[in-house]
Structure 1
Amino acid sequence: MERQLPTLKIEGTTFLVDVEQMVLVHLDDPDTKIRFAEMDNEDTHYTLEYDIAHKDIAGIHTKNNDLKLVEIPRMTQLDAEGMALKYNVPLRGISEKMDYEVMVENPEIAMRMQGKLNRIEIEGHPFYVDFRMWSLRPHNDFSTQGISMEPLHENEQYEYFPEDTVFLYQPKKHELFEPDWSSITELPKDTVIIKFPMLKEMDAVGYAHRFNRPLKEVLLETNFKPVTQAIKRQLSQTTLPELFKENKERLAQEKVQINKDVKRKSRKI
């Protein structure tokens, strides 16, 4: 039987408290969700700039008269049982603890903080998520340095990452393949199309340390997992067919133009 989620009223509006996803969900409008990561974490509670008219977090649409600063209890008070289940810690006394205290008591997070590296599975092969080396290092393969995090990080910075960014991966070499995107017209042999999770989802602890961010903030933004998965995409699930088509048409036109130029020069000679 699915556990019934507790509720919280904000200025007369009822929200479901979903600590598994770390969000407040509008009871009558489930598409409206307020993430705890969007609030200010004061440790003993959260503060939220709330739009009374839209019954949502304040934004550019919020009028001054509709803006109200409200206090939200910490998740250990809102749903102690949910926090105990989520972080695999004892229920007793949990409501007296700060959210961050409970998070770092989680055995998997505790082991990561003690130095155990997270892993990501790519086409069935485990890679170590190593922020110190700034790479994804393949298990038991010392012939390669693996996959640099730099191109993954670049795409996150420029916000290309969330939905449509994919990479070409060579399973036999445990490396990415970087083609000439201006001339590629088909999927190269022995490559597959891979979509990666965001870096902070692969390892919130390593990410926080690398970018000098408070761990309590990063843990609110992610659901910590010691092992994540890279997702294989089919060609039809990407925009690559359109790119291949555009390149073929452009290269064909360039070839025609080159042939015309050659014939023109031949006539002059």
Structure 2
Amino acid sequence: MEKEMPIINIEGTDFIVDVMKDELREKANPENVMSIAQMQERGFGNGYSFHYDLNLKNFPNDELFDDDGYNGDMVEVKLPELIKIDPERVAEKYNLTLAEVQNKIDFELRIEPNSPLDLRWNKGILPTLDIAGHTFYVDILMDKLRPKDDFKSKGISFTEISDYYDRDRRAYVIPYNPATREFQQDDVFKMTELPKDTIMVQFPHQATLDVVGWYKKHGNSFFRSQFPALHYEARTLPWEETNVIEIIKRNVAEQLMPKDEFKHIYDTPKENLYRIPTDKERVLPTYEIKGTEFIVDVNQLELREKNNPKNVISIRDMDEKMVEGYDFWYSIKSKNVTTFAEKGANKIEIPDFVKLDPIGMAKKHNIPEDKILGMTDFNLMVNQEAFDKIANNYIHPTIDIAGHPFSVDLRNDRLLPKDDIWSRGIIFPEIKYYYSRKDDAYFIPYNTKTRTFQEVSLNVKEIPQDLIVVKIPHSSILDPITYYKGLHENKSDLLKKVGVHLHTEAKVVPWHHTRFAETIQQNKEQAVKAEQKPSILPKPQETKAVNKSIGRKM
């Protein structure tokens, strides 16, 4: 007579454990079934766990989940290994004796003979990874990728390449030398051209390459669906898919910046604000912020604490609001601007300065007081003629570069030279690596003949002919109206501090003011040293017999 199947009780309900079908079946309702395959393994040999709906007496219904959680009575249930619940039927299922399954776990019994998992788990065969045509063993115990049939190479250490793991790609992206079959880290700050000896390769994390080896070393569990393959292939990346080209361009751009001793020559004001000395002929009005009185100084465009004049909130610390007014984050403790992250920070909104002190603004801008009442800061602080031409008559601002005028065409993202149909001009996306955030400008190599941006190599030994270095302000300064309109702002917004100009002039930076001149000198010196290097003499012939000991040297 066949032995009855074991029964387990889950929250008051009896379930039959059917090892042959890998399922739990409700005793009182055989149609109510829960598959073992849908349960989560709790680590090797620790059984299973699953969520259980007390009303459905089954797995939770996905439709009952929402943003607030599960709309039902749900508990977590733990189930022992099937080998522990019904060892006789487990042995029968896998055609083994009871003695043979005694020290096994469910996971091991499910492994198919000669499958990749069988070869890795039971036979100990290491997975392999092909990198640029050569096979590497994935050796987690030795913490490396070990090249096959190459005892000279030290391989690729997982510890050494840990910083090269890309979380977005979920893979390592490393520089690899096919000749030495090793990871080769170049000094990115000195990189001036694409490496000749290395390529960039991408391959998965070692926990993916060898999930079994990872578990055996670290004890982490993995799901049955994650059975490993035994061979993988690394992908060789085109340079365009890496950041190497960007690094090279940034290194070149860095050399074109003015040296520290010359930087002051090329500094430009960060704002376009009209300031005059404080009016001392009258009592200035005040404005209260969270219980503290501030003097409104429209001549200096600032608020000064009445009881502490050194505590100043300048217009440069405020954000321009759409149409009118300003706002900023305010700290009651410091009585000054702060960040939104500070505990207790308050968002303060204030009117235009012309509303805070109309008399002062009328006097500052020499406008009758009766006319000032209907005006805004925008009317007074922004060049209205320039604004009208650019915003309403669609006239492009211009910039002079080395004596030639260019039209600022932000709709096409470029600077177009006037009266030169053959030049493609200067395209902003092409010079993005030459942008200096500190200067809010681009320092670019410019060809005076073609009137275009021209990339330059750091390996040259002479200053390139027809090339100069020019400083071009950011597009938000050249044409703020079109720039901010492209960001879906109103054409009159965010213009008070930056100002509106119909014409700008690019500054020319002499080569000897840049670090590029020093690089050229270093290239020349290295070339001279290479020419002076003595030739290698041939090895002299041995004239005496040499006694050689028998044996091998390590």
Instruction: Provide the TM-score with structure 1 as the length reference.
Output: 0.71
- Quick one: structure 1 residues 5 and 77, their matched pair in 2 at CA, closer, same or farther if it must change by over 3 Å? farther
The residue correspondences of 1:166-245 to structure 2 (distance < 5 A) are 166-180=443-457, 182-245=458-521
Instruction: Assess if the C-alpha contact under 8 Å between 1:43 and 1:74 holds in 2.
Output: no
- Quick one: structure 1 residues 14 and 143, their matched pair in 2 at CA, closer, same or farther if it must change by over 3 Å? same
Shift of 1:102: 6.2
Number of the residue aligned with 1:46: 326
- Using the alignment, how far apart are the partners of 1:221 and 1:135 within structure 2? 24
Is the counterpart of residue 107 in structure 1 residue 385 in structure 2? Answer: yes
Shift of 1:74: 0.9
Gaps of 5+ in 2: 1-274, 540-554
Letter in 2 for 1:49: W
- Quick one: structure 1 residues 30 and 233, their matched pair in 2 at CA, closer, same or farther if it must change by over 3 Å? farther
- Quick one: structure 1 residues 33 and 212, their matched pair in 2 at CA, closer, same or farther if it must change by over 3 Å? same
- Quick one: structure 1 residues 245 and 110, their matched pair in 2 at CA, closer, same or farther if it must change by over 3 Å? same
- Using the alignment, how far apart are the partners of 2:314 and 2:338 within structure 1? 12
In structure 2, the residue corresponding to 1:193 is in which secondary structure?
A: strand
Number of the residue aligned with 2:426: 147
- Using the alignment, how far apart are the partners of 2:322 and 2:347 within structure 1? 13
**Cα distance per residue 1:214-251 (max 9 Å; x no partner):** 43444145111110110112334333234435555677
* Sequence identity (%): 20
Number of the residue aligned with 2:106: none
Instruction: Provide the TM-score with structure 2 as the length reference.
Output: 0.38
Is the counterpart of residue 12 in structure 1 residue 293 in structure 2? Answer: yes
**Cα distance per residue 1:1-22 (max 9 Å; x no partner):** x954466555334463358xxx
Shift of 1:57: 1.8
Instruction: Assess if the C-alpha contact under 8 Å between 1:195 and 1:232 holds in 2.
Output: yes
In structure 1, the residue corresponding to 2:298 is in which secondary structure?
A: strand
Shift of 1:70: 2.9
- Using the alignment, how far apart are the partners of 2:332 and 2:462 within structure 1? 53
**Cα distance per residue 1:106-144 (max 9 Å; x no partner):** 121111112111101112221110112322111212221
Shift of 1:166: 1.5
- Using the alignment, how far apart are the partners of 2:472 and 2:383 within structure 1? 28
Match of 1:132 among 411, 423, 430: 411
Q: Which has the higher helix share?
A: 1
**Cα distance per residue 1:188-211 (max 9 Å; x no partner):** 122222111111111112212334
Root-mean-square deviation (CA, aligned residues, Å) is 4.2
- Using the alignment, how far apart are the partners of 2:325 and 2:372 within structure 1? 15
Number of the residue aligned with 2:151: none
In structure 1, the residue corresponding to 2:500 is in which secondary structure?
A: coil
Number of the residue aligned with 1:24: 302
Number of the residue aligned with 2:343: 64
